[in-house]
Structure 1
Amino acid sequence: MDLILRGGRVVDPSQGLDAVCDVGFVAGKVAGIAPRLDAVGAQLRDVSGLVVAPGLIDLHTHVYWGGTSLGIDAEDFCRGSGVTTAVDTGSAGPGNFAGFRKHVIEPSEVRILAYLHVSHAGIYGFSKTVMVGESEDIRLMDPEGAVQTAERNRDVIVGIKVRVGRHASGDQGIAPLTVALQVAEETGLPLMAHIDEPPPSYEDVVDRLRTGDVLTHAFRPFPNSPATIQGTVRPAVLAARRRGVLFDIGHGMGSFSFRTARAMLANGFQPDTISSDVHALCINGPAFDQVTTMSKFLCLGMDLPSVIRASTVNAAFALKRPELGSLRPGSVGDATVLAIEDGNFDYMDVVGEHLEGHHRIASRGVVIGGKWWHPV
């Protein structure tokens, strides 16, 4: 063994595992899980009293640092948040993806995958002083360029991104979604659709999505909430889940409310994936990071294995990367060490509601490619 994490509570929903075990790594992969592994010649780290999970996947981030005004530094973020795979969702489009790849993705020690924006320049006008929805101008839709860029970068591009809603697409409404769906069909890739305020409506968007497509900002507040005023789940949302549409949190600065989350969870509608939508305007609140977003769901009543599932194996399924999100021997050697702290913690959603929670998930270190990457 090269590295052994000794004596932690291993929670790996991909295997239905929740037990105190050692986890060993060899040559960049998970090599074994057992109550006690032979530590001869291995680097040994005692993680007793902590939780060992598969490497966390944040399915919605913006990490084109320096290339877009909303980008943050992926490595700084991931070190503090226990994330081993950051998925950038549309920061770059066909016109600037080459720079994103060369200057951010390739030098990064943490894994960065990407949904390619169908808009030529990605999300280019998003700051405290300038806010321009890139989907407002149909001239910026670049389906041919998107197909070509996706084909050239199959190793890191996992899907196509589009943003629709009053803020993102303005008077173009749902038209950019039509363009993006054509690109997704042509490339055989899944689509991730952003939704904000209407138009279009929540129903208009989810009715168009296909099996394996992702609706992000799925638990957003009114207007365009998936829950009715009576506290039920909208029929179109239930129909979309039945046909395999995936529902992602994408917390961000305007896309998650406790009221919506309570209604959805009360109806047994858990998110498929929990993600932060971290960017320059929400990294200092209200989203902060991945573990804070996960903590909110733990405090709302989801059990720890379900919260971890939505940040590991479920996200790997959405990405069509089965080698991620698992501690099964032979999987990529990524793991996240977490502390579950008890106390009184103040959480806030995007509309200003506060929740006093009694649990907090905190990162205590990560393993990337079989090596301890985040010193305690």
Structure 2
Amino acid sequence: MTGSIVLRGGRVIDPANGVDRVADLVLGKDKVLGLDVPEPDGAQVIDCKGSIVTPGMIDLHVHVYWGGTSLGVKPESFADKSACTTLVDAGSAGPGNFTGFREHVIEQSRVRILAYLHVSFAGIYGFGGTIMVGESHDMRLMAAREAAAVASAHPGVIVGIKVRIGAHASGPSGIAPLDVAQDVADRTGLPLMVHIDEPPPSYSDVVARLRKGDVLTHCFRPFPNAPCHGDGRVRDAVLAARERGVIFDIAHGMGSFSWDTARKMDAAGFRPDVISSDIHAFCIDGPAHDNLNVMTKFLALGWSVEDVIAAASIAPAKVLSRPDLGHLGKTAQPEASVIRLTPGTVNLADVTGEIMSHDSLLTPVGTVSGGKWHPA
């Protein structure tokens, strides 16, 4: 069967279906054939002994409008580095330039790219090494009509509306851009992804506005604007938001993951729903590196391998309302990620410069998508 691939002898971990065992995963070109089933004639066999085979992993927060924005990275090279088969761009493009993003990047890529559309007309346009202009500073850029029209014109590719709020992102506009983004989300029936940075507004003020299915990204920020008090108590508004069904996404990036916050939240029993990288041109060489590096940081916090895989596969698939992603059942896309838990001391830096060491690092081996094996 042309396009069939056998991932032989790996430890298959499929949290959505409760699978964790050594097996041969057989993927057809158009469907998952199953575990330890007869191999189709002509199938390509990949030796996965000593590796971990997972559902095609999903990075819920990336910036891959390469060539169209200063923060974009090349989707294929990053997907290989992170062993992902789906990348979700978090608002790099707005309604003024989304068509170019779709035509020149999304449709040209072998990697599945979905997108949150920025409510700002030009997306994230002023993010650089020496220039930093928050696109939500000027309310004249909040393009409600245009965003609603563009989102409606690209169903299935645009999965939500993005807005960035905080002293850096929205500055004098404060929380007002969130009003516009919520109006667009209401009009289109799409969820929000909301960025926060330093106050004002406060973490509590922002998260108190979010609805079930909305994503609060950069959820384990350092002080100031952390999700917990100095003594480790989780803020009441954060707990209330979780009760409402708000999604908490790591989105490590250049400034949004702190060991201090992570330890306090973990001690309080508050885990993020999704592990994502917020990869862009200014954090790909550290401190975020890739989503496997971010997942390793949660291993260092005491999570199991199964837990971190779930947070980067079935959890983001549910956020995206994509029942065909994030698992290895018969209804899933025939995609898989192959990774390895490589032993050896690794120093893991947060965005404040604090380092925690761990005894191993998750590293990429390759992915299967589109009926092809893509080695890392």
Calculate the TM-score normalised by the size of structure 1: 0.98
Q: Could you tell me how far apart the structure 2 residues matched to 1:111 and 1:288 are?
A: 20
Match in the other structure for 1:101: 102
Q: In the TM superposition, what is the alpha-carbon distance from 1:362 to its structure 2 partner?
A: 0.4
From 8, 14, 17, the equivalent of 2:16 is 14
Deviation at 1:369, TM superposition (A): 2.5
Asked whether 1:144 is paired with 2:145, we answer yes
Deviation at 1:190, TM superposition (A): 0.7
1:170 aligns to 2:195 (yes or no): no
Query: Which residue in the other structure is 2:264 paired with?
Result: 263
What is the CA distance between 1:38 and its match in structure 2?
3.1
CA distance in 2, matches of 1:206, 1:135: 18
Counterparts of 2:294 and 2:38, CA distance in 1: 33
Distance 2:31 2:262 in 1: 36
Runs of 4+ in 1 over 2 A off after TM superposition: 36-41
Tell me if structure 2 keeps the 8 A contact 1:114–1:157.
yes
Per-residue deviation at 1:269?
1.1
Aligned partner of 2:357 in structure 1 is: 356
Cα deviation digits, residues 173-197 of structure 1 (max 9, x gap):
1000111011111111110000000
Cα distance in structure 2, aligned partners of 1:334 and 1:27 = 9
**Alpha-carbon displacement from aligned partner over 1:81-119 (angstroms, at most 9, x marks no partner):** 101111000000000000000000000000100000000
Any idea what the Cα deviations from partners look like across 1:45-67, whole Å, max 9, x if unmatched? Answer: 11011100011100000000010
Aligned to 2:231: 230
- SS of alignment partner, residue 373 of structure 1: strand
Contact 1:29–1:369 at 8 Å: present in 2 too?
A: no
CA distance in 1, matches of 2:329, 2:172: 48
What are the within-5 Å matches in structure 2 for residues 44-55 of structure 1?
44-55=45-56
Q: Is the 8 A contact 2:95 2:122 kept in 1?
A: yes
Aligned residue for 1:277? 278
1:308 partner amino acid: I
Instruction: Quote how far apart the aligned CAs of 1:320 are.
Output: 0.9
Whether the 8 Å CA contact 2:194–2:215 is kept in 1: the answer is yes
Aligned to 1:99, the other structure's residue is in SS state: helix
Contact preservation (8 Å) 1:55, 1:335: yes
User: Percent identity over the alignment?
Assistant: 58
In 1, Cα distance between equivalents of 2:283 and 2:53: 27
Q: How does 1:284-299 map to 2 (within 5 A)?
A: 284-299=285-300
Offset of residue 312 of structure 1: 0.3
Give how far 1:342 is off.
1.9
- Separation in 1 of the partners of 2:163 and 2:302? 31
Cα RMSD over matched residues? 1.0
Q: C-alpha offsets along residues 284-341 of structure 1, whole Å, 9 cap, x if unaligned?
A: 1110111111111111111111100110000001111111111111311111001012
Q: Is the 8 A contact 1:164 1:193 kept in 2?
A: yes
- The one-letter code of the counterpart of 1:202 is Y
SS at match of 2:307: helix
Q: Name the residue aligned to 1:305.
A: 306
| Corresponding position of 1:346 | 347
Q: Secondary structure at the match of 1:45?
A: strand
Deviation of the 1:351 alpha carbon? 0.4
